[in-house]
Amino acid sequence: NAGVTQTPKFRILKIGQSMTLQCTQDMNHNYMYWYRQDPGMGLKLIYYSVGAGITDKGEVPNGYNVSRSTTEDFPLRLELAAPSQTSVYFCASSYSRPSGDTQYFGPGTRLTVL
Amino acid sequence: TQLLEQSPQFLSIQEGENLTVYCNSSSVFSSLQWYRQEPGEGPVLLVTVVTGGEVKKLKRLTFQFGDARKDSSLHITAAQPGDTGLYLCAGLMDSNYQLIWGAGTKLIIKP
Q: Do B31 and A99 touch (CB under 8 A)?
A: yes
pLDDT at B102 exceeding the cut of 60: yes
Q: Among B49, B96, B98, B100, pick the best mutation site for testing chain A contact (most A Cβ within 10 A).
A: B98
Rounded to a whole number of angstroms, the distance from the CA of A90 to the nearest CA of chain B is: 7
Using one digit for the tens of pLDDT, what is the confidence trace for B42-70?
Answer: 999 999 999 999 999 999 999 999 999 99
Residue A70 has pLDDT above 70, yes or no: yes
- Centre a 10 Å sphere on the Cβ of residue B62 and count the other Cβ atoms it contains: 16
CA–CA gap between residue A35 and residue A47 (Å, rounded): 7
Q: Which pLDDT does position B99 carry in this prediction? A: 85
Q: How confident is the model at residue A41 (pLDDT cuts 50, 70, 90)?
A: confident
Residue A94: strand pairing partners? A31
Looking at residue B2, what is its pLDDT? 54
Separation CA A57–CA A55 (nearest Å) = 7
Q: Which residues of B touch A51 (CB under 8 A)?
A: none
pLDDT band (50, 70, 90) for residue A81: very high
Q: Which three-class secondary structure state does DSSP give residue A31?
A: strand
Partner-chain contact B98 A99, CB within 8 Å: no
Percent of chain A topping pLDDT 70:
96
